[in-house]
Amino acid sequence: MALVGTLASTALTARLRRFRRLHPNVRLVLRTALSREVSALVRRGEAALGLRYFPDPDPELVSLPLYRETLVTVCAPGHRLARARRRTARMLDGQPWVAFPARPGGGADGYAQMLTERLAALGLSVGELIPIDSLTAQKRLVEAGFGLGLMPESSVQEELRLGTLRALRLSAMRLAVPVVLVHRRRAFLSGAARAVIALLRDRRA
């Protein structure tokens, strides 16, 4: 199974752990990659299943929706927005942002695209977009005051608890990204693969 590394911080990890407990004789091999790389690994048959953000439009792949990952706007504790008593979306205008690089050739399936589109809809602009392809590096740069960040809420719980990041919970910036499971449309799915799919899609798990 190929998966986006940030998903290892979500409830999916607990479900995969449960799968290993229920099926101790199945060897579950995991490999992390970016969303587009996850699809490429599945397409080439190097992974039977993939977990990624956003559905893949490739007709050769089946994209099964699992859930939506809530995103949160974060900043350094010393940032002026962290100290503001009353925060409004207007305060984001012209701010620099640390974000994943835009997808080559554009497309709506990326954090940077989602961020810029939401800010534009609010009549706001991005002062600078600092492209960083590692979530850990993004968090460290935001902590150091290089800019704001738009990150999966589940992946910043520890930093929020420790106070090294502050959440800016603005109603206008309530965003979420879909998490999907992909597999090849015409590929044979083993019993183990079907069991993984069933467990990940089981809302009661």
Query: Tens digits of per-residue pLDDT, 152-182?
Result: 888 898 999 999 999 999 999 999 989 999 9
Q: How far is CA 18 from CA 9, 97, 205, in A?
A: 15, 37, 9
Q: In terms of Cα–Cα distance, which of 140, 135, 164 is closest to 152? A: 135
At residue 108, the pLDDT reads 41
Residues 102, 60 within the same domain: no
Averaged pLDDT of the chain: 90
CA dihedral sign of residues 132, 151, 106, 35? positive
Query: Do 43 and 94 fall into the same domain?
Result: no
DSSP assignment letter at 64: E
Residues 188 and 171 in one domain: no
Q: Region 12-20: what's the mean pLDDT?
A: 88
81 & 18 share domain: no
How many angstroms separate the Cα of 21 from the Cα of each of 13, 16, 28, 80, 202? 12, 9, 11, 47, 16
> What are the backbone angles phi and psi of residue 190, rounded to the nearest 5°?
-65, 170
Pair 170, 186 in one domain: no
Q: What is the mean pLDDT of residues 187-196?
A: 93
Range of the domain at 173: 70-177
Could you tell me if 74 and 173 lie in one domain?
yes
Is residue 137 a contact partner of residue 85, using CB atoms and an 8 Å limit?
no
CATH of the domain at 105: 3.40.190.10
Q: Are residues 165 and 97 in the same domain?
A: yes
87 and 172 in a common domain: yes
For 82-130, how does the pLDDT look when each residue is reduced to its tens digit (9 = 90+)?
999 888 999 999 999 999 877 655 444 477 888 999 999 999 998 899 9
152 lies in the same domain as 189: no
Is the same domain home to 57 and 89? no
Torsion-angle region of 58 (φ positive above 0: left; ψ -120 to 50: alpha; else: beta): beta
